[in-house]
Structure 1
């Protein structure tokens, strides 16, 4: 994995997301109840606070939970809910260590179908159906991970140029389109449509 992303809108954070499968998974995990850019800057902040170039699943999995929560809570906080997100990140890393020897890319490497990849993503702690589909679309659209049927498995997020999620963000213009789509969806939900 070594692609150029523009999700965090921060060159260092985006560079890390493009080369570290674990950073990309953590960014996706953090992408809730905060702006997308904030969520996807989180892996870089975590790595810096751990004193490393990139997050390591083995290290995070066994990190003292109170100290890890404090690390995420230090200002500026990694997330609006740093304590609960620290716990979720550790659960994700523990799962990766147990099932993939700590290699986040193992989740998608060698997968034959989009349906199988979706199942593997949904099995990750903190990844529900929607988050799994969005991440699958991100893998297909920007990382070139395209097992047979990946677009169908990603649902509407897999559609070309749909501008529905982080999978479609390639710069400021597409970020604005994704943000506009999210606002439309929120407005429709609020009006009961």
Structure 2
């Protein structure tokens, strides 16, 4: 079982390490929300549901309004608990339809990194960037290394990178990843800013 230190909380990280669905939901919630809180949310969700492992079948079948209340907390599992509860249900339904309700069905026996990336891109709430980051996380920390996984993950798959959650192995790397993301935001902002006219 992989030892993860993404949520920076032993109980939350322990669940991520042994429950692929918890890891997948953590990645889904990692959007407009602090990274460690997003990946800590599956533990809170499991605790509130009174289970020690999340079930795609149970989440897919849950009453939508009740699930929203579960997401609302307090504390809330996400900045947008309503839309994220709905997206989590959608994700679980897709897992039921295509992978017998198993998150690890996404990667078990997958022939190559390109195929896995294609599957991740089809998940609700997973855009191209999120799919690559999750692929890198699986390869770097979860032992899922089909041929060509690094290439499929692009820059996120690079050895020694500090670009994303895939590279977080403790408090220090969390700080480094956060600094990288801030620098990226600043660069994007600077690129959008109109050029100042030269002084006469």
For the superposition of Structure 1 and Structure 2, which TM-score range results when normalised by the shorter chain?
over 0.9
Paired residues for 1:4-83 under 5 Å: 4-83=3-82
Query: Over alpha carbons, which structure has the higher Rg?
Result: 2
1:90-143, Cα deviation, whole Å (9 max, x unpaired): 000000011111011000010011000000111111111100000000000001
Number of residues of Structure 1 aligned to a counterpart in Structure 2: 192
TM-score (ref. length: structure 2): 0.95
User: Is structure 2 residue 164 aligned with structure 1 residue 165?
Assistant: yes
Mark the runs of 5 or more structure 2 residues left unpaired by the alignment.
Answer: 193-200
How big is the shift at 1:54?
Answer: 1.6
Alpha-carbon distance between aligned partners in 2 of 1:71 and 1:99, rounded to the nearest angstrom: 26
In 1, the alpha carbon distance for the partners of 2:93 and 2:85 equals 12
Any runs of at least 4 consecutive aligned residues in structure 1 with deviations exceeding 3 A, and if so which? none
Cα distance in 2 for partners of 1:19, 1:133 equals: 21
Unaligned runs of 5+ in 1: none
2:160 matches 1:146:
no
TM-score by length of 1: 0.98
Write the distance in 2 (CA, Å) between the matches of 1:129 and 1:139: 16
- 1:91 is matched with 90
Q: Distance in 1 between matches of 2:124 and 2:170?
A: 29
Cα separation, 2, equivalents of 1:23 and 1:175:
20
